[in-house]
């Protein structure tokens, strides 16, 4: 069975690598799209991803996919989709100081994806990954907030975790979209 090629809207080579690996398991080809779509500011990752795929489909007329991550400190409800900005401006030490003032160190990632097929049909999915903020940064100094994020049941930070484990965390939407594509194709 032959499936349409998905054009992934990203400049992140790790996202492209993960998408190619996951979709490749299903026989679906993924290519990187270099279209420049400004990232909107919105309350959820799903809105950010959906906007990007809508604009990209209108401009390119091909199947497109965008994934977006948001990070929430549960007690504060922020920074959400503004994580990229905050991660660049607030050090891991400052993040830990902020969480030191809270009743809970619980946080979570919202990972959302929007896929628009060659006919303009949209499919969206999302899931949450719970984390706890550590008391002190640990791991690779090239990373920032990842040095303070710990998965439930673990004692290591993201920065101390191997890439296969991290890749698995970010790939669930790709599996959902691949299943959607296969189910939709077998309906015809």
Q: Tens digits of per-residue pLDDT, 39-86?
A: 888 888 999 999 999 999 999 999 999 999 899 999 999 888 888 788
Looking at the structure of the chain, the number of domains it has is 1
**pTM score:** 0.89
- In a domain, residue 69? The reply is yes
Contacts of 168 (CB under 8 A, 6+ apart): none
106, HSE (Cβ side, Cα atoms, 13 Å):
10
- In a domain, residue 1? The reply is no
Between strands 64-73 and 122-133, the pairing is unpaired
The three-state secondary structure class of 129 is strand
- In a domain, residue 78? The reply is yes
Give the domain range for residue 156: 6-187
CATH code (residue 79): 3.90.950.10
- In a domain, residue 153? The reply is yes
pLDDT the model gives residue 1: 56
Residue range 1-13: average pLDDT? 86
């Amino acid at each position: 069975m032959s499936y349409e090629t998905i054009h992934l809207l990203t400049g992140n080579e790790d996202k492209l690598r993960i998408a190619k690996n996951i979709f490749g398991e299903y026989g679906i080809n993924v290519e990187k799209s270099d279209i420049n779509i400004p990232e909107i500011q919105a309350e959820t990752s799903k809105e950010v991803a959906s906007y990007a795929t809508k604009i990209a489909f209108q401009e390119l007329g091909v199947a497109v996919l965008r994934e977006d991550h948001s990070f929430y400190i549960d007690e504060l409800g922020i920074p959400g989709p503004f994580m990229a900005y905050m991660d660049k401006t607030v050090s891991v030490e400052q993040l830990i100081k902020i969480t030191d003032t809270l009743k809970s160190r619980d946080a979570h990632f919202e990972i959302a994806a929007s896929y628009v097929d060659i006919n303009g049909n949209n499919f969206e999915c999302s899931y949450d990954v719970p984390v706890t903020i550590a008391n002190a940064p640990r791991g690779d100094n090239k990373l920032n907030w990842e040095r303070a994020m710990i998965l439930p049941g673990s004692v290591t930070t993201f920065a101390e975790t191997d890439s296969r484990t991290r890749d698995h965390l970010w790939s669930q939407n790709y599996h959902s979209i691949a299943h959607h594509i296969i189910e939709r194709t077998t309906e015809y």
